[in-house]
Amino acid sequence: MNIVSRAAIAASILAAAAVPCFAQDTVSHLTDAQGREVIVRTGMPAPQQYGPKPAFAALDSNHDGAISREEAEAFPPLANDFDLVAHNGERISTRQYAQWDYR
């Protein structure tokens, strides 16, 4: 096998592997029981950009030195990761919050 053939095979494999990365949204044309066309669009929504995480004090609204689940709701990425950050506890300490990187 010569170098050109190997390069062509490698390029084909890389191109085939990259295709699923770009195919996030799909459109399917189906027919329902009455014979009508149904168009189904599926895919992931665009990610929301939240910017940098707020200061601990900004989320600790009652100033008790910890962030509760209710206080975490003010910053959706933290609310989403609450159990992970709090180690399945009820509150997030300043140390836990400092170690959390949501990006």
Instruction: From first to last of the 103 residues of the chain, give the pLDDT tens digit.
Output: 566 556 556 555 655 555 454 446 888 899 999 999 999 988 877 777 888 999 999 999 999 999 999 999 999 999 999 999 999 999 999 999 999 998 7
pTM: 0.56
With respect to residue 87, please indicate whether it lies within any of the assigned structural domains.
yes
With respect to residue 47, please indicate whether it lies within any of the assigned structural domains.
no
What total of structural domains would you count in the chain?
A: 2
How far apart, in Å, are the Cα atoms of 4 and each of 15, 16, 18, 27, 73? 16, 18, 21, 37, 57
Domain residues for 33? 3-42
> Taking the CA atoms of the chain, what radius of gyration do you get in angstroms?
24
User: How many Å apart are CA 30 and CA 1, to the nearest integer?
Assistant: 45
